[in-house]
């Protein structure tokens, strides 16, 4: 093949599952799309799709080709993007990922600064847990992400740059019945549901031991804004790094539960994560600098809040 057009057509067809919808999405006539797929099958000497009344389905060969096609197209986009950014960084795309907690404060502030400095750079921000972000990074669908690094530290495919650590705090709504207590241990909180994002194994094990619950989380959600709204509107409790709830607690929108000093010892483990052995594009390097700059900003101690 002389170019990647046939692979783009095939990926579009696989994503839409129907010739008419795929042709419309890529602004191509249906006969032209059909000829492109047939040419790709001929060049690979295998059948990639099965046609049926509801559209198409991929053959075993088709599934394999789809995986490789997505990687090739992602690599092609990355190459074009890096070349376009050389010089004054006036154009280009940045595919950035973030975990739920960095997405609540650190990353939005850094993205805002980046957008102000380079308004013509397009930023695509994907929020997910560290496992999903790692997979997307290695598939070239992300160039850089910020997330909990505890379960990624021994991965030789990754370059990990640790960020500032923040104490874990348990929080609730103002007026919660537990706020009448002067000191609490985690195992005293079992009458109330605990909500949180997907937890690293070490954190989950610690909470399991301290709470005596086999499943410490009653509610799991990787959208931290939803978790904050849930806590603010009910007696549900949640645990998070201090930096993402500091402003809400200081403003009185949320409240920190008075845990004994040894009840919750976990800290955040944010890190900047990219592919080992791969240099960052100019836009990604600029984004990295902004994240590091925001990360260095001081945050008041949780013990200074009421």
pLDDT tens profile 6-40:
888 999 999 899 898 988 888 889 898 899 999 88
Same domain, 47 and 179: no
Sheet with strand 194-196: strands edge to edge? 219-220, 194-196, 237-241, 168-172, 255-256
Same domain, 122 and 252: no
Q: Return the pLDDT at 202.
A: 78
What is the span of the domain harbouring residue 199?
168-256
pLDDT tops 50 at residue 2: no
Q: Return the pLDDT at 102.
A: 95
Same domain, 65 and 134: no
Same domain, 283 and 138: yes
The reply to whether 142 falls in a domain is yes
Structure tokens at 56: 């198409």
Which of helix, strand or coil describes residue 215?
Answer: coil
The reply to whether 262 falls in a domain is no
Q: Which of 77, 101, 125 is the last residue of a domain?
A: 77
Same domain, 109 and 146: yes
Same domain, 204 and 60: no
Q: How far apart are CA 216 and CA 92, in angstroms?
A: 43
Matching residue, tokens 């930023």: 123
Q: What is the CATH number of the domain that holds 28?
A: 1.10.10.10
The reply to whether 62 falls in a domain is yes
Q: Where are the beta strands (DSSP E) in the chain?
A: 49-52, 55-58, 93-98, 122-127, 144-148, 158-162, 168-172, 194-196, 219-220, 237-241, 255-256, 270-275
The reply to whether 96 falls in a domain is yes
The reply to whether 264 falls in a domain is no
pLDDT tops 90 at residue 1: no
Domain count, the chain: 3
Nearest-CA neighbor of 161 among 266, 298, 292?
292
pLDDT tens profile 46-82:
999 998 888 899 999 989 998 888 888 877 777 776 6
Which residues are bridge partners to 49 per DSSP? 58
Other C-beta atoms within 10 Å of 182: how many? 7
Nearest-CA neighbor of 177 among 194, 187, 189, 185?
189
Tell me the CA distances in angstroms from 285 to 65, 145, 159, 268, 292, one per residue in order.
32, 12, 13, 23, 11
Same domain, 275 and 161: yes
Q: How far apart are CA 40 and CA 234, in angstroms?
A: 56
The reply to whether 261 falls in a domain is no
pLDDT tens profile 56-65:
999 999 899 9
Same domain, 63 and 111: no
Q: Which of 47, 77, 107 is the last residue of a domain?
A: 77
Which of helix, strand or coil describes residue 81?
Answer: helix
> Dihedrals φ, ψ of 91, to 5°?
-140, 180
Q: What is the CATH number of the domain that holds 223?
A: 3.40.190.10
The reply to whether 131 falls in a domain is yes
Q: Which of 32, 50, 77 is the last residue of a domain?
A: 77
pLDDT tens profile 92-140:
788 999 999 999 999 999 999 999 998 888 899 999 999 999 999 998 8
Same domain, 68 and 216: no
Same domain, 159 and 176: no
Contact indicator for 172, 232 with CB cutoff of 8 Å: no
Q: Residue range 187-207: average pLDDT?
A: 82
Q: Residue range 198-215: average pLDDT?
A: 76
The reply to whether 263 falls in a domain is no
pLDDT tops 70 at residue 89: no
Q: Return the pLDDT at 88.
A: 57
Same domain, 172 and 252: yes
Same domain, 239 and 277: no
Taking the chain, what is the end-to-end CA distance rounded to the nearest angstrom? 66
Q: Return the pLDDT at 27.
A: 87
pLDDT tens profile 254-286:
999 887 655 566 788 999 999 998 888 888 999
């Amino acid at each position: 093949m002389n170019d990647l057009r046939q692979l783009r057509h095939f990926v579009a067809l696989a994503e839409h599952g129907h010739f008419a919808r795929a042709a419309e999405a890529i602004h191509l006539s249906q006969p032209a799309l059909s000829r492109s797929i047939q040419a790709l099958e001929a060049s690979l000497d295998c059948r990639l799709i099965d046609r049926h009344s509801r559209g198409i389905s991929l053959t075993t060969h088709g599934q394999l080709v789809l995986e490789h096609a997505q990687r090739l197209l992602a690599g092609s986009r990355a190459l074009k993007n890096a070349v376009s950014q050389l010089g004054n960084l006036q154009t280009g795309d940045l595919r950035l990922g973030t975990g739920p907690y960095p997405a609540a404060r650190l990353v939005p502030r850094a993205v805002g600064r980046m957008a102000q400095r380079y308004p013509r750079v397009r930023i695509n921000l994907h929020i997910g847990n560290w496992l999903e972000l790692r997979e997307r990074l290695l598939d070239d669908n992300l160039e850089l992400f910020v997330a909990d690094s505890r379960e990624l530290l021994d991965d030789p495919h990754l370059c990990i740059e640790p960020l500032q650590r923040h104490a874990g705090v348990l929080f609730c709504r103002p007026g919660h019945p537990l706020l009448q207590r002067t000191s609490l241990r985690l195992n005293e909180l079992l009458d109330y549901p605990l909500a949180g994002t997907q937890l690293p194994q070490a954190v989950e094990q610690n909470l399991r031991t301290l709470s005596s619950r086999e499943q410490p989380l009653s509610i799991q959600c990787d959208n931290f804004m939803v978790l904050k709204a849930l806590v603010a509107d009910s007696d549900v409790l949640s645990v998070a790094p201090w930096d993402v709830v500091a402003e809400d607690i200081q403003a009185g929108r949320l409240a920190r539960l008075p845990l004994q000093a040894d009840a919750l010892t976990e800290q955040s483990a944010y890190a900047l994560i990219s592919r080992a052995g791969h240099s960052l594009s100019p836009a990604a390097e600029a984004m990295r600098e902004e994240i590091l700059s925001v990360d260095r900003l001081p945050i008041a101690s949780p013990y200074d809040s009421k």
